[in-house]
Structure 1
Amino acid sequence: MKRIIPMAGILLAAWLVVNNPLSNTYVASLVDNRESITVSKESNLLETIESNAKKYRIDAVDAKIDPVWKAIPGINGLEVDIKASYNKMKKDGVFDEHKLVYKQLKPKVHLNDLSASPIYKGNPDKKMVSFLINVAWGNEYLPDILATLKKQNVKASFFLEGRWVQKNPELAKMIVEAGHEVGNHSYTHPDMSKISEAKIRQEIMKTNDVIEATTGKQVTWLAPPSGYFNDAVVRIAKEQKLGTLMWSVDTIDWQKPSRDVLLQRVMSKVHNGAMILMHPTESTSSSLDELITEIKQKDLEINTVTEMLSEERSMSDNE
């Protein structure tokens, strides 16, 4: 026969389990132990991030004047943001260097702190390059160049001659409306190393004025025609709050090279911080799409001169 336990007995047993002080102590100890394990796990993760932070730190680099390359911009350092990194990892509770969050550290010496000096390239630790497109002619190739830049989602820096802007205001506006940077390429395209200081100042100021009046953009960079300059040009440009730009890679597209020659010419010399000189020519127009693709395949970002010379690190600098 089956033994039948009265309902009252079941209820009494349940009451004893719930109200027994020993039972409460046991349950409480289980909860406390679980909490201590969680706290210990979190503490260990935080300690691991803190102990590894120094290993992943990259010091900021100050701007400097190099004896060969002249003014070289600085670049921000990187430091692990411990709190943000912990918050990103705490769900899994496991240290993962790929989930580290960084904050950038400013250098002590900036490009603007340096004495007047030309700039040929960006910081070698920055995985970015820029196209410097000097415009005083070549209107027929500009639409295709702009279309290729749009297709590839690339921003460039166009240096405009003042006279050209006055004659072609719609093209100048088209460049700006496409999101590109515009700079000063003098007003009449002279050899700026052979004109008076008064004429240098006039060439710079007049071009600044016409670009701003036409496009609404203030200019911050000067690209002297044919790369001719002297100390007076650089000094006067700095007085007008303009940096003077040269280049480190030249397409020499005005010589009408074939597409293969132009590509080889650039890709054999391209480097971190490269400033790549070009013009609106048939050679550049026909090779630009492939050129951009090949540069991107080297894990180099392409952006304006201002972005490339800034101290901000690019997306891939800490990879």
Structure 2
Amino acid sequence: STRQILPFGRELQNVMEPSISAGAAGFIGVLRDYPGDSNQYYVPYDAIERPIPGVWISGGDGNRLRALLSGAPLRVKVSIDSVREMITAHNIVGELPGADEEVVIIGSHHDGPWASAVEDGSGIALVLAQAAYWSQVPQAERPHRLLFLLNAGHMAGGAGQRTFVEEHAAELESVVLEFHLEHAANELSDETGVLRATGLPESRWWFTSLIPRLQDAVRSAIEAEDLQRSMVVPPTMFGPKPTTDGADFYMAGVPLVNYLTAPFYLFDAVDTLDKIHRPSLVPVTHAAIRIVESTMGVSASGMRAG
């Protein structure tokens, strides 16, 4: 068993909405019980402009604010320097021909809120590892045409993935599998008073469509590579639309496997290179290869049929 602090609450992106609905002039969010006592938390990231200013403060500062509020009435000034502008971002796509013209998409996103080594430098590395491996495999031994996708705008409401799905809607029926690879993270703990790695990987989630042959392939790959602390879970575990980067593919009816870990610091500036769980990179890569190989001889319609 493992205890895990998730990087989001049940509100997901809607952290400010209750305050807005109540008529608040501003939002001050307290990151109570947040390891490391940080205030650098990049949520929401849905690219929606709110009508009031908002700011996060650390749990320690929140305790001081509560103490002040318990006394005389308090006047608070919220001053925020931020920039919102329209930009053009680009999805990055590469292809390898395969044994047939149906498609396996292997993807992740290439943007993040900070330096964001785990979210999602590690995902980029995992996708590039797949491209490097499959480029050395003869075309006839690649189960299908392979499309490698690094989409933009994940931290702007998933704009890149959504646009890709919309623009290629007519082609999605020929997609056998969309395999997303995100976040190879170290587990961190502050039980000693100092934030440090435990030496373990953060719990691994394999969001997998409820297709028996696909679930079996994922479980077999996990066992073969001894990827402990893994959970095979339905994409809709947190709601009808997945909270992962592969969500729009799933909503379009494409069979999905979305590997990720969800450390508490996923949207925090503390996500630097030392947070990547490097021992995970090779076995997760091998497991992904096994899952892609399992689609050999399985058509897009056959996969959907189970």
TM, length-normalised to structure 2:
0.24
* Higher gyration radius (CA): 1
Which has the larger share of strand?
2
TM, length-normalised to structure 1:
0.23
Which has the larger share of helix?
1
